Amino acid sequence: MKCMICKTGETVKGNSVVTLNRDGMVIVFKSVPAEICNNCGEVYVNNDITKNLLDTAEEVSKSGVQVDIREFKAA
C-alpha cells in the first residue's frame, strides 16, 4: 500500500518494535508483524495485532509493572 505519511513509499511486510506508554508504565513489544514504509519507515500494524497489544498492555498494567519488554506472540 502507498504510505499515508510520505505519500511516495510503498509498505513492505516486516517486524517492528512497538512502545506503549500509559500512566508512567512503559511496555516494549519486539518483533511485531507490521507493514513498514520503504521510504520513511512509518509502521502500520493491523487491527487484530493492535487489539492483542492493547489487551496485553491492560493485563500488564493491572500487575503494577512500570517497565516491561517482551517478544510479541500472536494470540
- 13-61 pLDDT, tens digit per residue, is 999 999 999 889 999 999 999 999 999 999 999 999 999 999 999 999 9
CB within 8 Å of 62: residues ≥ 6 apart: none
Enumerate the β-bridge partners of residue 32: 16
8 A C-beta contact, residue 18 and residue 26: no
Identify the pLDDT of residue 23.
Answer: 87
Kind and range of the H or E run holding 50: helix 47-62
Question: For the chain, which domains are there?
Answer: 11-71 (3.10.20.860)
Give the global pTM: 0.88
